[in-house]
Amino acid sequence: LTQLFRPLDMLGTVYRTIRQGLIDMAEMFRLMDTDVEVRDAPGAPALVIARPSVAFEDVVFGYEPDRTILHGLSFEVPAGQHFAIVGPSGAGKSTIARLLFRFYDPQSGRILIDGQDIRAVTQASLRAQIGIVPQDSVLFNESIGYNIAYGRDCASAADVEAAAQGAALMGLIERLPQGFDTEVGERGLKLSGGEKQRVAIARTLVKNPPILLLDEATSALDTRTEQDILATLHRVSANRTSISIAHRLSTVADADRILVLQDGRLAESGSHAALLRRDGLYAEMWARQAADAEELGEAAE
Ligand code: ATP
């Protein structure tokens, strides 16, 4: 009887693993919807990056024909800089990330990486060069080492350890009974939100991409964990071009430039200090978040 159940049990594990993997992807990009829409151009070459700049040129996009989400958006992130995208809920921030990863194509306008239209290159080569740290990473029911190595097929044990170090995960791993071989996920050790994000960062480090897309957690991490993760992300973003999609402003104040999106248009852009001086939408959002934080602080006392 056990013999009969073992394959069934394995099937269950495979099913859960696949399902979890898909949830992970679908959450950010709705992969299933979009994979059919975007195809490689016949004979498309690979994306070759010398200087990883990212440019949106007059990009118009809507998920449905009669509802435009991005209305002619233009911006350029120079190679090596860190940009943040902020704005009210529904402004189109995550849509920018989905377009950059080419899960959808714009209705008009172009998206360029190092001067190459992303529609003209293979999707595999495009996605290989962009590392994503999603809001909520779902882990596979596998070892923590496997979960980190998932960023690249041929990662060596040394690569995995270096990535864990870079993501400040070694402290945790050293405390685990079986180190890198400890099973994590639904059926293994449950990791906290902050630890899961570190695994996602380590995965990205293994992949070692020139461009990083950080979709910040909306689920509140406690302030200390958030600060720690931010410091780690900072280190990881050095020498790469990075774009953070931020739901809270406290995390983006030191970006090279902040793009303030409103209803799919660029309402303002500039450094944190310049935007505060401008006393527009960003300054208003900043004041509101500060007031909310104060209220929360008072409530906690
Ligand atoms: P938030 O801060 O709440 O995450 P956001 O600025 O990232 O918001 P987007 O996720 O880019 O906003 O969504 C922009 C608009 O596009 C929203 O009105 C949303 O309802 C719509 N939208 C997003 N995904 C789809 C989809 N797959 N199909 C149809 N409409 C969508």
Contact 77, 259 (CB under 8 A): no
pTM score = 0.82
Per-residue model confidence (pLDDT) at position 14: 54
Question: Would the CB of 92 count as within 6 Å of ligand 1?
Answer: yes
* Mean pLDDT, residues 124-139: 86
pLDDT at position 5, please? 55
Residue 240: pLDDT band (50, 70, 90) is: very high
Ligand 1 atom nearest the C-alpha of 33 is 27
How many Å lie between the centroid of ligand 1 and the Cα of residue 143? 34
User: How many other CB atoms are found less than 10 A from the CB of residue 295?
Assistant: 10
CA-nearest of 120, 37, 112, 28 to 77 is 112
CA of 259 from ligand 1 middle (Å) equals: 17
- State residue 22's pLDDT score: 46
Axis crossing angle, helix 193-207 with helix 223-237, rounded to the nearest 10: 0
Q: Nearest Cα to 57, choosing from 3, 113, 19, 132?
A: 113
Residue nearest to atom 23 of ligand 1 (CA): 95
Q: Which atom of ligand 1 is nearest to the CA of 95?
A: 11
CA 96 to ligand 1: nearest atom? 11
Q: Is the CB of 89 under 6 A from ligand 1?
A: yes
Tens of pLDDT, residues 264-285: 999 999 999 999 999 999 999 9
- pLDDT tops 50 at residue 60: yes
List pLDDT tens digits, range 135-179. Answer: 777 788 899 999 999 867 788 999 999 999 988 899 999 999 899
Q: What is the largest CA-CA distance in the chain?
A: 73
- Cα separation of 239 and 228, whole Å? 20
pLDDT given for residue 296 in this prediction = 66
Specify the range with the lowest mean pLDDT, choosing from 39-48, 50-59, 184-193. 184-193
Beta bridge partners of residue 111, listed in sequence order: 56
For ligand 1, mutation pick of 27, 30, 63 (most atoms within 8 Å of CB):
63
pLDDT level of residue 256 (50, 70, 90 thresholds) = very high
* CA of 69 relative to ligand 1 center, distance in Å: 8
* Run of H or E residues at 111: strand 108-113
Distance CA 11, CA 191 (A): 24
Atom number in ligand 1 closest to CA 64: 29
ipTM (interface pTM): 0.97
